[in-house]
Structure 1
Amino acid sequence: MSYRRAMPNPRPDQWIRVQPEGLFVVPGGFHVDPMRPVPRALVTHGHSDHARPNNAAVLATAETLAIMRARYGDAAGGTLQPAALGESMRIGEVDVSFVPAGHVLGSAQIVLEHAGSRVVLSGDYKRRPDPTCRPFQPVLCDVFVTEATFGLPVFRHPPDSGEIARLLHSIALFPERAHVVGVYSLGKCQRVICLLRQAGWDRPIYLHGALQALCDLYESLGVPLGPLLPATGASKAELAGQVVLAPPSAIADRWSRRLPDPVVAAASGWMRVRQRARQGGVELPLVISDHADWDELLATIDEVEAGEVWVTHGREEALIHQLRSTGRAARALALIGFEEDDGA
């Protein structure tokens, strides 16, 4: 039986509004992932374009709050309230619950129920298995608010295991060289580490100093990463044949000169675009993404049975065209402030 039903009054687009601060839920009196400080913020996950500092009150999962404290200190928010996954709470006139989004540790979709409608705000999400976070949980809804970072048919991500196998094969071919992989500090770094462990890499993995704090936080929150060592201070002989993880910006910096004839790799969904890899000087592009690809976006929208889809950011035009061609109502919210970064 389909979840789709006739929209009651008031419709969701009458009580969820786009403001300069971001998406505002009027009957609840709160914003979701606001771009500017607000009195009350509900936050889907810890990436800086969704979790910004200096809100008066923040409601998010305990892991997201821990990430915000680690990044912002006292500026994480005036009052920080943890939300337990799956538990419903009443905020103003809206029933609110958080369910897993599968994006990074602590990431959640936010489910809103008001005036006979259910709206799911996905935040960022992926559908691939990830040992560092809970898997995406589909929720039947009337309106699905989705990202579209990889909302073009060209973006079809290969299996993660195959990309890690390519990295390990390159290490076997060039044991005298270090393999430095550009990774975003939150989520991608820890996921690549765990994928390497799953593939049998039990040797130490070397880290740029900017990655250490969040790796420590992940381990403190119950995500084992195995032996990690600082890359800074290690000799070239010690780094030969090893995996070194670093922020993409550091690889283009003089920092990378300390590495022995490095093979430059990058782990991102954008590595599907060869021109981006070439522009970044990437010799070994690894298509490992923390976002849903084109097929997964469409499959997810089918799975939640939403009759109406709102697209927050990314490749809105192609996704909206595809959805409308299949009879779904779809529109762009035109939110400003969500970044397109190498962490995708």
Structure 2
Amino acid sequence: MSTASDLLEIRPEGLYCPPGGFYIDPVKPVDKALITHGHADHARAGHGAVMATSQTLDIMAIRYGEDFTGSRQIANGAQVVNDVSVSFHPAGHVLGSAQIKITHKSTGTAVITGDYSRQPNPACAPFEPIPCDILVTEATFALPVFRHPDPLGEIARVLASIEAFPDRAHLIGAYALGKAQRVIMLLRMAGWDGPIFIHGALQRLCDYHISQGVPLGDLRPATIDRGKKSDFAGQIILGPPSAFAATWAQRFPDPVICFASGWMQVRARARQRGVELPLIISDHVDWPDLTQTITELNPAETWVTHGREDALLRWCELQGRKARPLRLLGYEEEQD
């Protein structure tokens, strides 16, 4: 007799659905891939065919070029792939991010969450809880110590620092897809209505968010004309974390280095990056939201991937819940 666990199996390429003949977020090129969101560790170029939300397909084209796949299919409502019903539902992680629900009449339903967050995010659609037999969940912050604070409270710390040090530029490290736009929106919600200067690596994705109705406000290139360094005193500049390791950050007046990431709760990581003002702003579920999700959805099985698997497996055991680790490789924890 078939069970829900027959819906999915682990292969070297990644998570595979045998009755559907497709992979989900594969780490190697495959004939057919369903993609949860546009971060590079989940969305890779070179697949024969890709199904994803329209926004994720657009983002992949921006990042990889229009020929990133042989063919593309927009996920729009429930669709049948071979004998499997497939639907995409908001994950609350980044623009276009989705959980993928797959159902087979003889095996049941599985939901692959990809990366997800239950905190309000003004830059993307909110997480949608989906009942299922198998829940495949990330475990990026799956330790009880990880409890993300109110992100607006973290932004308030930036604004307080600007008030205290008006002669210094405030540089915020934020990943180009998702985190940068969320930080910008949080700044707007907190009352910062002035210009926000952005590194060139953020421009195309910020422009795309604006085209999708995300009101990022007045964005300007973070370029310095000769003799105009002082113009950035008291200003906010966003750039990818990689730019902060170069001389780019030192072009600005006595910069206060900030970094927006859930990992900023770990002080050693902030010190390693030379971060003066760590901002604990995460686009992943923390421990309370992760355990709440499992409790709320009450799946027959929980499959745990990429992160702190052992702690969550132990929690499931203590709760009398069936769980297993997937040990998938190729997903990076730093995309937060």
Kindly report structure 1 stretches of 4+ aligned residues shifted beyond 3 Å.
none
Contact 2:87 2:101 in 1 (8 A): yes
Q: 2:304 aligns with which of 271, 292, 311?
A: 311
Q: Does the CA contact (< 8 Å) of 2:3 and 2:107 recur in 1?
A: no
2:57 pairs, out of 50, 65, 69, with 65
Counterpart CA distance in 1 for 2:274 and 2:107 is 52
Q: How does 1:261-280 map to 2 (within 5 A)?
A: 261-280=254-273
Deviations 1:188-207 (A, max 9, x none): 00000000000110000001
**d(CA) in 1 for partners of 2:292, 2:232:** 42
> RMSD across aligned C-alpha pairs, in angstroms?
0.9
Cα drift, residue 74 of structure 1 = 3.3
Deviations 1:251-292 (A, max 9, x none): 121111110000000000000000100111000000000000
Q: Percent identity?
A: 57
What TM-score comes out, normalization by structure 1 length?
Answer: 0.95
Task: Give the Å deviation of 1:138.
Answer: 0.2
1:127 aligns with 2:118: yes
Letter in 1 for 2:95: L
Amino acid at match of 2:108: S
Query: Residue type of the partner of 2:132?
Result: C
Aligned to 1:76: 68
CA deviation profile, 1:56-96 (whole Å, cap 9, x unmatched): 11000000000000001134211111112xx1111111111
Amino acid aligned to 1:159: D
Q: What is the CA–CA distance in structure 2 between the aligned matches of 1:330 and 1:117, rounded to whole Å?
A: 17
Paired with 2:9 and 2:107, the residues of 1 have a C-alpha distance of 18
Deviation larger for 119-128 or 74-83: 74-83
Q: Of residues 239, 244, 255 in structure 1, which corresponds to 2:237?
A: 244
Q: Is there any run of 5+ residues in structure 1 with no aligned partner, and where?
A: 1-8
**TM-score, length-normalised on structure 2?**
0.97
Work out the CA distance in 1 between the residues paired with 2:4 and 2:28. 23
**In structure 2, what residue type is equivalent to 1:97?**
S
Q: Distance in 1 between matches of 2:169 and 2:130?
A: 44
Match of 1:200, SS state, is coil
Counterpart CA distance in 2 for 1:193 and 1:303 is 31
- For the residues of structure 2 that align with 1:211 and 1:74, how far apart are their CA atoms? 19
SS at structure 1 position matched to 2:284: coil
In 2: Cα distance, 1:24 partner to 1:307 partner: 19
Count of matched residue pairs: 333
- CA–CA separation in structure 1 for the residues paired with 2:217 and 2:3: 50
Aligned-partner SS, 1:296: helix
Q: 1:326 aligns with which of 319, 323, 327?
A: 319
From 141, 145, 150, give the equivalent of 1:154.
145
2:333 pairs with 1:340: yes
Q: Offset of 1:119 from its aligned partner?
A: 0.6
**Which residue is equivalent to 2:179?**
188
Aligned position for 2:207 = 216
Which residue in 2 is equivalent to 1:29?
Answer: 21
Single out whichever of 73-82 and 60-69 deviates more from structure 2.
73-82
Q: Which residue does 1:169 correspond to in 2? A: 160
- Residue 93 in structure 1 maps to residue 83 in structure 2: yes
